[in-house]
Amino acid sequence: MSQLPEPSDLSALAASVYTLSAGRIGASAAALLGLAGAVVAWRVLTRPAGRLGRIGAGPALGAGLLAMALGGLVAATADGGVGTGNGLGGAYVALVVGALATVLAGVALVRTRRGSDATR
């Protein structure tokens, strides 16, 4: 019969809250990049046709795709589970926010292209 580990042994498994590992930094950067892409794409969608619509959708799409790629890389290379300090939770957030930014930017890109074709 196996014994339960001592509480002092469990603290060695989880990382400190204040420790910044490479996985945490990468996941945080990816999540912030995806968030920036989602905000820009949302502004392109909600603003009337103007300068932001023409130049904002492309970078927002790139930011979303890059956030998903970096989040996927961190998730694939994380050694432990969520709470071990490897950035796995942040990688999941980056994947979701990056996908949201990609979808919003794709819709914005289609709308701006459709609008520019109608004016020709």
Q: Is residue 74 part of a domain?
A: yes
Q: Is residue 110 part of a domain?
A: yes
Count structural domains, the chain: 1
Q: Is residue 113 part of a domain?
A: yes
**Which residue in 58, 70, 59, 57 sits closest to 31, CA to CA?**
70
Between CA 24 and CA 118 the distance in angstroms is 46
Q: Is residue 57 part of a domain?
A: yes
For residue 71, CA distances in Å to 42, 47, 65, 80, 86 come to 21, 29, 10, 15, 12
Q: What is the pLDDT of residues 8-46, one digit of tens each?
A: 555 555 566 666 777 778 888 999 999 999 999 898 888
Give the least confident one: 33-42, 59-68, 82-91. 82-91
Q: Is residue 10 part of a domain?
A: no
Domain assignment of residue 63, given as a range? 30-118
Amino acid 63: pLDDT: 92
Q: Is residue 41 part of a domain?
A: yes
Amino acid 102: pLDDT: 94
Q: What is the pTM of this model?
A: 0.75
Q: Is residue 90 part of a domain?
A: yes
Q: Is residue 79 part of a domain?
A: yes
